[in-house]
Amino acid sequence: MDLTEIETFLTLSEELHFGRTAERMGLSQSRVSQLIRSLERRIGAALFTRTSRRVAMTPLGEHTRCTLGAAYTDLRKSYDEACAIAQGMVGTLHVGFMGCLNGPPLTDLVLAFDRRYPACDITVAEVPWHDPYRQLRAGEIDVLLTLLPVDEPDLEVGTVLVSHPRVLAADLDHPLMERDEIDIEDLADWVLLDGPAELPAPLRHGFCPRFTPLGRPLRRGHGGRTYQEALHRVATGDTVWTAHEGLFRTYRHPRVGHRPLSGLSPANGALVWRADAKNAKTRAFTSLAAQSAPGRPVPAARAAARSPAGAARATTR
């Protein structure tokens, strides 16, 4: 029996529409019709009734969907696992992320990877803000979602996966919080929190510049080895923080507010990995990320349709 016939039958039984089935399968509509007719001839009876307005399943079609669907799922899972083993897609992929970049882009990517490579486990762990690359270099994680820029000779950088508008964080009683929007030029009179003292210089200066676009120097103050420590520092009122929207989806402080900040580029995050340690799992994960760059959704739905291998097994340490 042709597996493509079975897959087409199961997809049509969900969609009950030849056009949508063809789109999901990546086939022409005439090819879908041909495959269904071939399967019906093989079985010896109609599985669907077709009119100009609707497609419906026959009682035999309903029975076949129930019995064949479960068998196909098990068969496809075994097939995908065999392919994954042959391609080196076994074992565990360890993914790290900066806490301020946690959210749907990363979660969707992890779930899509898990569906596509069911024989490969995946773990996800937060890395410390003050030392983002240590675990990557130590081999404790295989790939890291981090803020840009990254200027490290031993690390390779992928496409931008996450992009957040910039905001200014300040104590709620700070004069700048009275404005609806703040420009970077307005910050020359204030001390800017630029992160932990250990933060790599390219990342520090790329995220919190030393000068405004008009050349005015920006006073800077180190502080906060974690995001919550940084928020506490801001809450005392002696510094403001050029943060980004994504951070405030995860972290909060009752005395800290934020406003849109113009004059700075968005906060972008991308996957990085060790140049000397890229393997099949890392290549597969970063390739999937490239397909899900902003404006290009992760193809999870299609992956699930092609490989219905059960629930995701992604874990978070």
Residue percentage of the chain with pLDDT more than 70 = 88
Q: What is the pLDDT of residues 250-273, one digit of tens each?
A: 999 999 999 999 999 999 999 999
End-to-end CA distance of the chain: give it in Å, rounded.
43
Contact of 232 with 224, CB cutoff 8 Å: yes
- DSSP codes joined into one string, the chain: --HHHHHHHHHHHHH--HHHHHHHHTS-HHHHHHHHHHHHHHHTS-SEEE-SS-EEE-HHHHHHHHHHHHHHHHHHHHHHHHHHHHTT--EEEEEEEEGGG-SHHHHHHHHHHHHH-TTEEEEEEEEPTTSTTHHHHTTS-SEEEEESP---TTEEEEEEEEEE-EEEEEETTSGGGGSS-EEGGGGTTSEEE---TTS-HHHHHHHS-SB-TT--B-EEE---SSHHHHHHHHHTTS-EEEEEGGGGGT---TTEEEEEEESS--EEEEEEEETT---HHHHHHHHHHHHTSTTS---HHHHHHH----S---EE-
Report residue 302's pLDDT band, with 50, 70 and 90 as the boundaries.
very low
The per-residue pLDDT for 122 is 95
pLDDT at 307: 34
pLDDT mean across residues, the chain: 86
pLDDT reading at 309 higher than 80: no
- Tell me the pLDDT band of 313, cut-offs 50, 70 and 90: very low
Average pLDDT over residues 106-119: 91
| Global pTM value | 0.69
Please report the pLDDT score of residue 206 as a whole number: 82
Contact 177, 257 (CB under 8 A): yes
Question: What local confidence, expressed as pLDDT, does residue 81 receive?
Answer: 60
Cα–Cα distance between 262 and 188 in angstroms, integer? 14
How confident is the model over 97-104, as a mean pLDDT? 94
Q: Which residue has the higher pLDDT, 87 or 199?
A: 199
Q: What is the pLDDT of residue 183?
A: 96
CA–CA dist 187, 23 (Å, integer): 52
List pLDDT tens digits, range 55-77: 999 999 899 888 887 787 777 76
Is the torsion defined by CA of 145, 150, 154, 160 positive or negative?
positive
Other C-beta atoms lying within 10 Å of the C-beta of residue 29: 15
Is the pLDDT at 308 greater than 50? The verdict is: no
Mean pLDDT of 213-237: 90
> For residues 256 and 85, which has the higher predicted lDDT (pLDDT)?
256
How large is the average pLDDT for residues 176-193?
Answer: 94
Q: How many alpha carbons fall within 13 Å on the CB side of residue 305?
A: 21
Instruction: Evaluate if residue 82 carries a pLDDT over 50.
Output: yes
Task: Report whether 301 contacts 181 (CB < 8 A).
Answer: no
Give me the mean pLDDT over the 17-39 stretch: 92
Higher pLDDT, 286 or 119: 286
Cis peptide before 209 (omega within 30 of 0): no
